[in-house]
Amino acid sequence: MKKKILLSFFILLSSLLQGIYGKSHADVPTWKAGVAATVITPREPMWMGGYSSRTTPTERKVHDLWAKALYLEDARKRGSLIITCDLVGLSKTVSNRIKDELFKKTGLSKAQIILNCSHTHSGPVTSGNLINIYPIDSENLAVVDQYTEQLCKQLVALAVKAKQNAEPAKVFSQNGTVRFQVNRRKNMESELTNLTELKGPNDYSVPVLKVEDKQGNIKAIVFGYACHPTVLNGYEWCGDYPGFAQVELEKLYPGATALFFQGAGADQNPLPRRSIPLAKQYGKELAAAVEQIISEPMRELQPRLETAYSEIPLEMENPPGEAELERLKKEYTIDYYIRWAESMLVKLRRGEKLPSAYPYPVQVWQLGDQTIVALGGELMISYALRLKELLGEDIFVMGYSNDVTGYIPSDAELATKWGEEIESSHFEFDLPAKWKPGLEKKIIDEVVNLVNQTSMQTTKSGFSVKTDVAY
């Protein structure tokens, strides 16, 4: 009898304490996380993406190419997906197709899905991306379209699987540093060995998300860097330095999936370069930076998710007419300039009107108090620096997200009228003309607008995010 009385007393005491000090451990709000990965290495000879100098398809490989997905769901059952790919890029058409299909299968909107490409120049061409720069005949173009068709199905299935794999988890974030990126417009590659001082701007940040299961095992490592994966330029499939970094991290942390995202690395190169040992070296350096971050205390993120997405019109200069295109086609001596002129002529003769603006994707996530900004195109490093000046050094900035179309320079860079990023980007990405000045303010203003939207939602729920920013 006394035992029953004591047991009843302790149960009552436990209930009272729970009421005073909060919920039981089992009831504490938590994230859910699911991971999945799939090989996307082409199964037949195919044209490689990234360089106009290549002359034939390939089927050889250094290692497999991968697509990986991380699904995160907060305590209110709001979900999100990060999908990373060892690809040079995805066009808006392909990206929209994947996201539309995922909405049907998962209910996740464009705001809740980030599609990021590593921009490796040792991966396959995909439909509609950088298509003018390759001398591809109709037979090889059909192979590209077939591959892209299969890729879309793979990415959708991958994301669905990641969502199905979701289980309770903790999420942590932190920034580290590694220094092999070199500003390719301010330092001549041919003079690198003689330089005693490298000129910037640069952003050496290594942003990292760590996801642990309820036993404390590392389930996923999401990490980024802002640097072109152009160590290699041969004829073998390879993830370049991001691929080697992912391989290294998955060796260091058995059972974990490592996902790499590309930052604002449009004007940053790994130098020196052009050998597999160098690609491995940079991969190991990046993996070591991530390991250092993971080995030290990281900031745990509250299970609260807010997402926002918009598309803003970036204006272009007046597109050329048919007569001007015919003239330019005769005057140009660079092959892909000529292919661009031919492409524009085909559109005009089909009765299409060449657009004067492009719908540019801007996306913001708040994971607890961690801000993630995902922007489309080949984003210049100046955007990461400006956004960190406005929003804080700890934010994560992704370029090459959702739609890789054109270099995205600042207005100051646009005014220089020098370099591939300014002069020939529209030829490469099949745009009718160069960007007009003013794009930088539009992009930054929209990022701040979305940050304020998501931060206000987060703050209402008791989590604090800095919102007192202005352009």
**Per-residue pLDDT for 271 more than 80?**
yes
**Per-residue pLDDT for 12 more than 90?**
no
Say what the pLDDT of residue 27 is: 58
**Per-residue pLDDT for 20 more than 70?**
no
**Per-residue pLDDT for 4 more than 70?**
no
Residue type, 175: N
State pLDDT tens for residues 411-422.
999 999 888 899
Three-state SS for the chain is: CHHHHHHHHHHHHHHHHHHHHCCCHHHCCCEEEEEEEEECCCCCCECECCCCCCCCCECEECCCCEEEEEEEECCCCCEEEEEEECCCCCCHHHHHHHHHHHHHHHCCCHHHEEEEECCCCCCECCCCCCHHHCCCCHHHHHHHHHHHHHHHHHHHHHHHHHHHCCEEEEEEEEEEECCCEEECCCCCHHHHHHCCCCCCCCCCEEEEEEEEECCCCEEEEEEEECCCCCCCCCCEECCHHHHHHHHHHHHHCCCCEEEEEECCCCCEEECCCCCHHHHHHHHHHHHHHHHHHHHCCCEECCCCEEEEEEEEEEEECCCCCHHHHHHHHHHCCCHHHHHHHHHHHHHHHCCCCCCCEEEEEEEEEEECCEEEEEECCEECHHHHHHHHHHHCCCCEEECCECCCCCEECCHHHHHHCCCHHHHCHHHHCCCCCCECCCHHHHHHHHHHHHHHHHHHHHHHCCCCCCCCCCC
**Per-residue pLDDT for 24 more than 70?**
no
State pLDDT tens for residues 36-87.
999 999 999 999 999 999 999 999 999 999 999 999 999 999 999 999 999 9
Task: Tell me the pLDDT of the chain averaged across its residues.
Answer: 92
Say what the pLDDT of residue 11 is: 43
State pLDDT tens for residues 400-454.
999 999 999 999 999 998 888 998 999 999 999 999 999 999 999 999 999 999 9
Task: Specify burial of residue 402 (Cβ count, 10 A radius: 0-12, 13-18, 19+).
Answer: buried
CA atoms of 131 and 339, how far apart (whole Å): 9
Say what the pLDDT of residue 456 is: 63
pTM: 0.91
Say what the pLDDT of residue 14 is: 45
CA atoms of 139 and 442, how far apart (whole Å): 41
Instruction: Give me the mean pLDDT over the 106-134 stretch.
Output: 96
**Per-residue pLDDT for 25 more than 50?**
no
- What percentage of the chain reaches a pLDDT higher than 90? 86
State pLDDT tens for residues 142-201.
999 999 999 999 999 999 999 999 999 999 999 999 999 999 999 989 888 888 899 999
Categorize the per-residue pLDDT at 19 as very low, low, confident or very high, splitting at 50, 70 and 90: very low
State pLDDT tens for residues 305-363.
999 999 999 999 999 999 999 999 999 999 999 999 999 999 999 999 999 999 999 99
Say what the pLDDT of residue 168 is: 98
Say what the pLDDT of residue 468 is: 44
Instruction: Give me the mean pLDDT over the 253-264 stretch.
Output: 98
**Per-residue pLDDT for 212 more than 70?**
yes
**Per-residue pLDDT for 96 more than 80?**
yes
Instruction: Give me the mean pLDDT over the 392-399 stretch.
Output: 97
**Per-residue pLDDT for 460 more than 50?**
no
Say what the pLDDT of residue 462 is: 35
CA atoms of 465 and 454, how far apart (whole Å): 9
Task: Retrieve residue 74's tokens.
Answer: 């907060």
